[in-house]
Homo-oligomer: A and B are copies of this chain.
Amino acid sequence: MKKVRIFVTYKESVFDPQGETITAAVKSLGFPEVKKIGVGKFFDITLSDEADLDQTIPAISEKLLVNFNLETYRYQVLEEQK
């Protein structure tokens, strides 16, 4: 099995309201050392050994996982067994 983690974040230019809210909440809880919190999601994907990662990962990101108007992604191969 192959394992890949896809990270999805807002684009730099897009306002991250959840991150702003959490940052304000953490500061108000008494953590002035926290300067900024950004929020993202990730997908841990298990694929069969035959999967072509360079093809499958961009394809499912574009078709389902990522909203390219607001978001961007990158991925990391966690495990690749032959």
Contacts and interface: CB of A to CB of B under 8 A. Distances in A.
A60 to B, nearest CB: 5
Contacts of A77: none
Interface in A4-48: 7, 9, 22, 25-26, 29, 31-48
Which bracket fits the contact residues of A? 20 to 34
A47 B60 contact: no
Contact of A34 (B26, B40, B51): B51
Contacts of A39: 41-44
A33 B56 contact: yes
B29 A64 contact: yes
A70 B47 CA distance: 26
